Amino acid sequence: MNSDTINHMAAAIRAAILAHEADIESLDREIGDGDHYINMKRGCEAITTIAEELAPLSAADALNKIGMKLLSTIGGASGPLFASFFMSVGKTLKATDTTATKDVALAFEAGVQAIMQRGKAQAGEKTMLDVLIPVADTFKQLAEQGKSTKEIATALKLVASEGLESTRNLLATKGRASGLGERAIGHLDAGAKSCEVMIHAVCDQLLAQP
Ligand code: ADP
Ligand code: MG
């Protein structure tokens, strides 16, 4: 993995987020304040504008820079959370100095832990973490078992979709939807949807490689 791969993944993520505008927008309108799609789009566009600056960097430095850029561009609760994720993934990869699958899995896990710390949230609170935590756990397990990139990508798509679906019947205890009590039940979480869309985009790109 190098910054070229990261720029390709960022482009795939951006295209997928734009393609899911209607879903993401309506979910945050139902149980949030309706700005989540705009926040995601702004973040994706900010990364596009720094593609050339990322090109000469290592994967670790590029991810850290993406995090810093997101911190200064996406508003809302999700901006600092995604920023923490990318800065932490970058920092962790830099420390191991490899991008072997198992190190990427550990860095992904560290990124998810950074979101948990910053947002003071756990699994089961109807947030993006209900997608990210099971994806991180499965990624680490499969990488430790030495599974191939394609096997991992196929499995992570499924786990991300299951995590998203799990938010439907949860009460929200973090973020804006937490004021809604039982009224949030029956709705998917918007941040969980964005994460599912992004994970699918990256995994589809890996699956499409020869
Ligand atoms: P805001 O909530 O400020 O309007 P967004 O609409 O961009 O910001 O993001 C909302 C999403 O952020 C939620 O759908 C949820 O997934 C996620 N989120 C909110 N608070 C937290 C938190 N404390 N921990 C993890 N994720 C959170
Ligand atoms: Mg919102």
What CATH number corresponds to the domain at position 61? Answer: 1.25.40.340
Distance 97 CA to ligand 1 centre (A): 32
Parent domain of 21: 3-208
- Number of domains forming the structure of the chain: 1
What separation in angstroms does the CA of 198 have from each of 12, 72, 134, 158?
8, 20, 15, 13
Q: What is the pLDDT of residue 44?
A: 98
Q: What is the pLDDT of residue 97?
A: 81
Assign 106 to helix, strand or coil: helix
Residues of the chain short of pLDDT 50, as ranges, are none
Q: What is the pLDDT of residue 142?
A: 98
Mutate to test the pocket of ligand 1, among 33, 78, 88 (most ligand atoms within 8 A of CB): 78
Q: What is the pLDDT of residue 210?
A: 87
